[in-house]
Amino acid sequence: MEELKSIIKDVKNYIELEKESGLKEMTFREMFAVSIDAASAASEGIGHEDKLKELEKVRQEAKDCKECELFKTRRNTVLGEGNPNAVLMFIGEAPGMEEDIQARPFVGKAGQLLTKIIEAIGLKREDVYIANSLKCRPPQNRTPFSSETIACRNYLTRQIDIIKPKIICCLGRPATQALLMMEMSITRARGKFYNYNNIKVMPTFHPAYLLRNPQDKRLVWEDMQKIQKELKEIQ
Ligand code: URA
């Protein structure tokens, strides 16, 4: 019964996102397959405790990090959160004000939209892992300097090495550049898979950009469908 309720909720979210993205047709069968399979694979508990311990080590190191100047203005470092066995990982840009206060990634308005995006492909926020390329908030949410991204990259790559996701979705240009170390606009980069250590990487628009440019939700939806298809093939 609980599972049925959860599936119905997924369908509702899916329809809502479909409506927002302007698409009229839906593929229910496709959606069911991923919502069940991906969620169960994501919750496989292999090495769960060890991974949590390793991630905690990284968190403790990052907490006192002074590798760039952002330690002077941060309230908290925001390492990330989610399933340490996640098949799918999201990487954002950097914590904003809310994230800096709560020490959690994507908890503001952009975070609410990210949660909807995750649910629209039949997963729950707890099934995936969410991190940022920078672990500290840049003042006034300015775009990260490349020196900051480079200084912080080690925390991100260690997180990826521990979690070992099959797919990473980079949200926006700074996250894509930080991981793939390539110079490309997000408009050109999005919609295709790239390779990072044998992990498939899909760049797409950042949810904060979508809040300002809702007409591009359709493109993110297309990118998410590619991820959904890939997840189905993995399982
Ligand atoms: N934007 C990001 O890129 N990351 C967050 O955690 C919040 C907003």
CA-CA-CA-CA dihedral for 154, 155, 157, 163, to nearest 10: 160
- pLDDT digits 0-9 by tens, 53-81: 999 999 999 999 999 999 999 999 999 99
Q: In order of start, what are the domains of the chain with their CATH numbers? A: 1-42 (no CATH), 45-234 (3.40.470.10)
Grade residue 235 by pLDDT with cuts at 50, 70 and 90.
confident
Give the Å distance between the CA of 40 and the centre of ligand 1. 27
- pLDDT digits 0-9 by tens, 99-120: 999 999 999 999 999 999 999 9
Give the Å distance between the CA of 183 and the centre of ligand 1. 21
Instruction: Give yes or no for residue 208 CB within 6 A of ligand 1.
Output: yes
Question: pTM, whole model, 2 decimals?
Answer: 0.84
Give the Å distance between the CA of 4 and the centre of ligand 1. 32
Q: From the CB of residue 78, how many other CB atoms can be counted at a distance below 10 Å?
A: 29
Give the Å distance between the CA of 96 and the centre of ligand 1. 6
Grade residue 3 by pLDDT with cuts at 50, 70 and 90.
low
| Best probe residue, ligand 1, of 77, 91, 106 (max atoms within 8 Å of C-beta) | 106
pLDDT of residue 23: 40
**For all residues of the chain together, what is the average pLDDT?**
88
Task: Using alpha carbons, select from 69, 147, 159 the residue that is nearest to residue 105.
Answer: 159
pLDDT of residue 57: 98
Report the alpha-carbon distance of residue 161 to residue 51 in Å, rounded. 10
Instruction: Give yes or no for residue 80 CB within 6 A of ligand 1.
Output: no
Report the alpha-carbon distance of residue 65 to residue 78 in Å, rounded. 11
